[in-house]
Structure 1
Amino acid sequence: MKCIAIDDEPLALELLRTYISEVPELNLLHTFDDALEGAAYLKLHEIDLLFIDINMPDISGLDLVAAIENKPMVIFTTAHKKYAHIGFELEAIDYLLKPISPERFQKAVTRAQEQFQLRKRITEPEWEPFMVRSEYKMIRIDPAQIEYIESMEDYIKIFLIDTNRPVLTLMSLKTILEKLPESGFSRVHRSFIVGEKQIHSIVNKKISLKSGKEIPVSDTYMSFIEKWKNH
């Protein structure tokens, strides 16, 4: 889950950074000790989860969240119990009272993970399988299982999750793109298509997949990197 944290207290913000770094499912994009800077960031970027303090000098966390059009999941943090009912009226995932313990933080994140998975199941389209010919037989390919595809001149190799042996078929990358869902797969090189859900990170024009495999991004497809960062 992509997340940011907003808190005007440096020590509280550092504690959140530490807790978040210990949860593999969380990807901390940015932290802000200024609420207005955080609000400006939220207008330009989509995130999954927002950690935000309620008591801040320029604008309260409650008012900031109420003003967000496309609200992410929210976990409020505060030193005051009196705001709890207002936080839940804004459909917050949880309300953490400072000082926040590791156990209480993990409980809140678990709630967010459950909600995140539920939202994914509701919003994700079902992908239709398709058939390819390989080694004199027809093989059914489930797009959800595709990690990446590599071009080998007139052939392509379709690498599937948890499968050591790729599917080799006589086809071009252009043709296989026509069979794949409109979203979820991108050509990043003259020789590679990647399943976007399988990307772990992108550094220096190189994609690291969750499996550890690295895929190059060519200059022609550099726009994909910005697209992925803002997704």
Structure 2
Amino acid sequence: MDNLRCVAIDDDPLALALTKSYIEAIENLTLIQAFEDAIAAVEYLSRNTVDLLFLDVDMPEVSGIDLYHSLAVKPMVIFTTAHKGFAFEGFELNAIDYLLKPIDLPRFKKAVQKAIDFQRYKNQKDTDTPNEHLFVYSEYKLIKVEVKEIVYLESMEDYVKIHLNNGKMILTLATLKKVIDKLPADKFRRIHRSYVVAIKEVQSVANRKAQLSNGVLLPISDSYASFVEEWKNT
């Protein structure tokens, strides 16, 4: 994979200098431009293509949130802020991550790795190689989900709950179909308008219900009754 072309935007010269030094210390990143002036950054981004923004939220001329909303073409973005209690609720932003200042290098590298993984994932979607993970947005940041850890998906109106084999759950704003389309078709089956199961996690089927490895019982609707015979032959 080619290096990610980066732009850093922060009105604080010291914070910007730190971000620049971190970018330059990471092999997979190339710093293209850095701006203290948000307006100049917007003009530059309107004429140039970049892969990743490091964008401060708290700028006087225009907030990082508004700046990002204004972009016609939105690259991946990692937001930074000095305010621990900053409320991202209400902003429908597909951010890779949010970093709280002062940012240390290990935390910075962790956020960058998410961006690298997501870029590889997007590139991989154009090949026939099956994905071992998928990416979803949850709590306004990007989450990497290992496909092998998914037990089942549950539709909750405009959201999908992704239930994992460690007992954890990830809630993402998406349709069930949108999430299914990201998963390997030979490993998952829809058994109900509200449920998709990982075939390997189904332990038994009786009375139109599937019992999963975590003990959960899910209904199998008439529309997906063919799953029972299919499961028997796996």
TM-score by length of 1: 0.51
How far 1:121 moved relative to its partner?
1.8
Unaligned runs of 5+ in 1: 127-231
| Pick aligned residue for 1:108 from 100, 111, 123 | 111
* 1:52-131 pair list within 5 angstroms: 52-86=55-89, 89-123=92-126
SS across alignment from 2:95: coil
Aligned equivalents of 1:19 and 1:68: distance in 2? 25
CA RMSD after TM alignment: 2.0
The alignment-based identity, stated in percent, is 48
1:87-119 Cα shifts (integer Å, max 9, x gaps): 973110000000001111011001111111111
The answer as to 2:66 corresponding to 1:37 is: no
* 1:98-177 pair list within 5 angstroms: 98-123=101-126
Unaligned runs of 5+ in 2: 130-234
How far 1:84 moved relative to its partner?
5.0
Structure 2 residue identity aligned to 1:23: I
Say how many residue pairs are matched. Answer: 126
Distance 1:101 1:30, change over 3 A: same
Aligned equivalents of 2:47 and 2:5: distance in 1? 14
1:104-161 Cα shifts (integer Å, max 9, x gaps): 10110011111111111235799xxxxxxxxxxxxxxxxxxxxxxxxxxxxxxxxxxx
| Pick aligned residue for 1:47 from 50, 53, 63 | 50
Question: Deviation above 6 Å: which 4+ runs of structure 1?
Answer: none
SS across alignment from 1:50: strand
Higher helix share: 1
Distance 1:60 1:3, change over 3 A: same
Structure 1 residue identity aligned to 2:47: L
| Pick aligned residue for 1:24 from 9, 24, 27 | 27
How far 1:68 moved relative to its partner?
1.2
How far 1:83 moved relative to its partner?
3.0
1:191-223 Cα shifts (integer Å, max 9, x gaps): xxxxxxxxxxxxxxxxxxxxxxxxxxxxxxxxx
